[in-house]
Amino acid sequence: MLIGYARVSTLAQNLDLQLDALNKAGCEKIFTDKASGAKEERKGLTEALEFIRPGDTLVVWKLDRLGRNLKHLISTIEGLNKRGIDFSSLKENLDTSTPTGKLIFSVMGALAEFERDLLRERINAGLAAARARGREGGRPQKLNDKKIEMIRKLYLEREQSVAEIAKAFDVDRRSIYNYLKK
């Protein structure tokens, strides 16, 4: 059975083009969403994924209608594949029930993994370069050295609790302990 899924990003947009294409392709049931692709929860997609059964094919008009990004798209299609469900995109002429479709999808998956690896590599290289220049990552320190020294003195005098010191300097108690460790 061919199960269709159509999505537009805003309420002002129209599903007619996608619905016409899915009907023409022979979809027996079509689920829809009027929601941004960036949204995690899409009711129509959730219903389609719950409805669809092994041996069925999920059909979309265009790849970007299914996934928020390449990683999400591949993850969704892999999930379908594990359940014995094929996937088809009309615009890109991609059909995972065919050997060519499986190959194209495998290449897409490999490219997505390559992209993630490159991104991780660039981030790590940037962090290493920053560390080599003496920069540390993270949020800038809220208190300067003079205030940290005052905190140390107050703590050692034991006249105020750590909570009171933290409140006086407008920081969390954990921050006081972290400053004292340094």
**Which one is predicted more confidently, 137 or 91?**
91
Q: What is the pLDDT of residues 3-44, one digit of tens each?
A: 999 998 877 788 899 999 999 999 999 999 887 656 667 889
Range of lowest pLDDT (29-33, 133-137, 153-157): 133-137
Structure pTM? 0.61
* In the chain, domain spans: 2-102, 145-181
Active site residue 36: no
- Alpha carbon distance 43, 27 (integer Å): 19
Structure confidence at residue 30 (pLDDT): 96
Q: What is the pLDDT of residues 31-78, one digit of tens each?
A: 998 876 566 678 899 999 999 999 999 999 988 888 767 778 888 888
Residue 5 tokens read as: 């899924």
Closest CA to 54 of 86, 101, 98: 86
SS3 130: helix
- Alpha carbon distance 56, 2 (integer Å): 6
Residue 9 tokens read as: 């990003």
Residue 117 tokens read as: 């690896």
Catalytic: which of 9, 89, 161, 175?
A: 9
Structure confidence at residue 82 (pLDDT): 92
Share of the chain above pLDDT 90, in %: 30
Class of 2-102 per CATH? alpha beta
Structure confidence at residue 54 (pLDDT): 95
